[in-house]
Structure 1
Amino acid sequence: MRIQAPSLAELPTLRSIESAAGTPFRGLGMATVADAEPPSLAQLTELLRAGLVLAAYEEPDGAAATGGAGQALGFLLWKPVDGCTHIEQVSVHPQHAHRRIGRALIDRAEREGSSAPLTLTTFAEVPWNAPYYSRLGFRTLTDAELTPGLRAIRAHEATLGLDRWPRVCMRREAGGAGSGA
């Protein structure tokens, strides 16, 4: 697997991955999340130009020698928030789940973010959300630990209706990768 910034031409594929990654939420009664519109091409383009998009690619035979990236399997969006590398979105196509792709993207984002602590917001009770991130070394923050930037992110999420289901902010100290999943 290779992790790198995607090309502009690959951004529609990232949108497709995001749509497919939302499908399992339907089985949890979270149709609103499953049907959410992925980031627009304009949003992805802006993030890509800022260096805040990573994609994981399968390396077909010979791709390493020729520099080809292969098929996109998943992606991660991040941004700096209050001195941390904040993971905005991590999505892996369900056909490629359980291959440690999300973990590889998160670990790479840590390096891209100058090895700053990582933060994210996520659903507390969705198995592939907070419980998964806990296995990767993240811990749930208390309300008193939330930075102004995290509070603003949570307020925005509430306006989107994401608070219909329990959500948490999580943090992983630099170099704090977990041992599981």
Structure 2
Amino acid sequence: MYIRPVSPAELPVLQGIERAAGEPFRGLGMGAIADDEPPGIALLEEFRRAGRAWVAVEGDGSLVAYLLSEPVDGAEHIEQVSVHPRAARRRIGGELIEHAADRAREAGSEALTLTTYTDVPWNAPYYARIGFRVLADAELTPGLRKIRAHEAELGLDRWPRVAMRRELSPGGPGSRTAP
């Protein structure tokens, strides 16, 4: 498996990964999340053009996961990380996060941030295991407050959500990238 930027022709594949990655939420009583439409091609293209959309590629060339990020208040915010269920539990999402951390360090960011569900095992509990911590409301930056407000408008707060942060130390672990 290796990580590389997504190409324009692959954007619909990201939507398929997102749909598949949503299905496990159905088993947690979160059918609305499973049924949620993936990001549109135009939005995915914005992330791609900005150099903030990466895919995890299997040896056979198939895409199995992706990550989108953007700068928010001095940190690199992980907008979305999705892994196809057929590739779950292989640390591919973690590899994408490490790749984003490496890019963020290179750009001078001091941390990674994200928002996520507290009670979904592959969300907040997983991110805590890889070094993220839950932010108290008083620690939310203006940009994170705006993201959380938008999520509430979308109805995502039907289930408990939090913002999390992971500090970036210089020279942290590397990720696998395309040669």
TM-score scaled by structure 1? 0.90
State the match for 1:134 in structure 2. 128
Deviation at 1:46, TM superposition (A): 1.3
Query: What does 1:5-154 correspond to in 2, within 5 Å?
Result: 5-60=5-60, 70-114=61-105, 116=109, 117-154=111-148
State the match for 1:66 in structure 2. none
Aligned partners of 1:132 and 1:102: how far apart in 2? 10
Look up the equivalent residue of 1:37 and give its one-letter code: E
Look up the equivalent residue of 2:96 and give its one-letter code: L
Look up the equivalent residue of 2:151 and give its one-letter code: E
- Render the CA deviation track for 1:21-65: whole Å, top value 9, x for unaligned: 0000001111111001001111111110111101000123xxxxx
What value does the CA root-mean-square deviation take over the aligned residues? Answer: 1.4
Look up the equivalent residue of 1:13 and give its one-letter code: V
Deviation at 1:114, TM superposition (A): 2.9
Aligned partners of 1:6 and 1:121: how far apart in 2? 23
Look up the equivalent residue of 2:119 and give its one-letter code: E
State the match for 1:169 in structure 2. 163
Deviation at 1:175, TM superposition (A): 3.5
Look up the equivalent residue of 1:24 and give its one-letter code: P
List gaps (5 residues or longer) in structure 2: 174-179
TM-score scaled by structure 2? 0.91
Counterpart secondary structure, 2:59: coil
Aligned partners of 1:160 and 1:134: how far apart in 2? 25
Look up the equivalent residue of 1:114 and give its one-letter code: R
Q: Aligned residues, how many?
A: 169
List gaps (5 residues or longer) in structure 1: 61-69
State the match for 1:160 in structure 2. 154
Q: Point out which structure has higher relative CO (alpha carbons under 8 A, 6+ apart).
A: 2
Aligned partners of 1:96 and 1:59: how far apart in 2? 13
Question: Percent identity at matched positions?
Answer: 61
